[in-house]
């Protein structure tokens, strides 16, 4: 992408989450407490689709079967030998273009899930609404919702780092109650921002979660700890400032491009 636009990209979120967690686990094993060290910006920032998606195939992932609303996607599989979009066989400009935009209708063919974020966004909205109904049914204070959000973040972390990253003995020693789970998640910059933003959104009972909120919150969770200035939409900019995650990470979060233009003109 940099070859086309002169802009760099953030590293793939799953790679940043894994690296933050790896560093936190190392600190815990050394007997240290507190948050994981923020990763060096030089490692997080980079160029091209392979960096942005954390894969030699760029934005493309290969699985045995495509997911539907009724069934999950199949197991990961190798890139087919006949797959035409390869970094090693195309010019960098062509490879970046196919990842960034592609040709008209080039991805609208059987076997390619062109917009998986739409389905994933719908599923994510259903999950948020389920949490709301559950907390309302129990008639609990907001701390229960927060602990439930923390629990989902913990599950996400350990699914990504894999079952062998931490021993059973370490898990039993580090997680003796809900407070330990909160301490672990909030020690991970990306997960901490994600949890706080989502909790802030849930606190507004009149807010209706939308399909694209899933991507918005993921991008903010990655950008706030590692960027100087972030420009999301009005709603998420408000929540980033109201929840104080912007202040905690010393990041300027602006509401829209007009606010960014005004901010840039003052430099």
Question: Looking up tokens 């100087």, which residue turns up?
Answer: 228
Q: What does the pLDDT profile of the chain (267 residues) look like in tens digits?
A: 555 556 688 999 999 999 999 999 999 999 888 777 678 988 998 888 888 888 888 888 888 888 877 788 888 888 888 777 777 777 788 888 777 776 666 666 667 776 677 778 888 999 999 988 888 877 667 788 899 999 999 999 999 999 899 999 999 999 998 899 999 999 999 999 999 999 999 999 899 999 999 999 999 999 999 999 999 999 999 999 999 999 999 999 999 889 999 999 998
pLDDT of residue 119: 78
**Integer CA distances (angstroms), 51 to 9, 10, 13, 67, 87, in order:** 7, 8, 10, 25, 12
| 14 shares its domain with 46 | yes
pLDDT of residue 109: 66
Identify whether 234 is part of a domain: yes
pLDDT of residue 135: 83
| 133 shares its domain with 74 | no
Domain that holds residue 30: 2-100
- Which of 43, 72, 100 lies at the terminal end of a domain, its last residue? 100
- Which of 50, 76, 100 lies at the terminal end of a domain, its last residue? 100
pLDDT of residue 2: 54
| 257 shares its domain with 162 | yes
Identify whether 110 is part of a domain: no
| 94 shares its domain with 10 | yes
pLDDT of residue 34: 78
Identify whether 87 is part of a domain: yes
| 254 shares its domain with 133 | yes
Angle at 221 between CA 218 and CA 222, to 5 degrees: 90
| 173 shares its domain with 122 | yes
Residue of 107, 111, 108 lying closest to 98 (CA atoms): 107
Domains of the chain: total: 2
Distance of alpha carbon 134 from alpha carbon 132, whole angstroms: 5
Distance of alpha carbon 33 from alpha carbon 23, whole angstroms: 12
| 35 shares its domain with 146 | no
Tell me if 73 sits within 8 A of 123, measured CB to CB.
Answer: no
| 95 shares its domain with 170 | no
Identify whether 13 is part of a domain: yes
Distance of alpha carbon 134 from alpha carbon 140, whole angstroms: 9
| 13 shares its domain with 43 | yes
Question: Looking up tokens 């903010």, which residue turns up?
Answer: 220
């Amino acid at each position: 992408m940099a070859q086309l636009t002169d802009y760099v990209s953030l590293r793939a979120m799953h790679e940043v989450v894994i690296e933050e967690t790896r560093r936190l686990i190392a600190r815990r094993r050394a007997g240290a407490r507190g948050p994981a060290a923020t990763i060096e910006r030089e490692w997080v920032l980079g160029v091209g689709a392979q960096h942005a998606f954390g894969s030699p195939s760029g934005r493309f992932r290969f699985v045995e079967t495509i997911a539907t609303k009724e069934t999950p996607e199949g197991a990961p599989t190798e890139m087919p030998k006949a797959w035409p979009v390869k970094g090693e066989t195309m010019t960098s400009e062509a490879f970046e273009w196919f990842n960034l935009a592609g040709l008209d209708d080039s991805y609208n063919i059987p076997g390619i899930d062109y917009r998986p974020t739409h389905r994933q966004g719908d599923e994510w909205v259903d999950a948020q609404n389920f949490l709301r109904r559950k907390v309302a049914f129990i008639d609990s204070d907001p701390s229960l919702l927060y602990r439930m959000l923390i629990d989902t973040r913990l599950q996400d972390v350990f699914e990504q780092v894999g079952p062998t990253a931490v021993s059973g003995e370490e898990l039993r020693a580090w997680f003796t109650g809900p407070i330990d789970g909160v301490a672990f998640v909030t020690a991970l910059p990306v997960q901490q921002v994600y949890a706080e933003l989502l909790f802030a959104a849930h606190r507004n009972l009149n807010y209706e979660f939308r399909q694209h909120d899933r991507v918005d919150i993921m991008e903010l969770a990655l950008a706030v700890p590692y960027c100087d200035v972030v420009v999301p939409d009005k709603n998420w900019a408000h929540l980033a400032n109201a929840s104080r995650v912007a202040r905690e990470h010393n990041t300027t979060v602006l509401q829209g491009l007009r606010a960014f233009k005004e901010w840039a003109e003052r430099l």
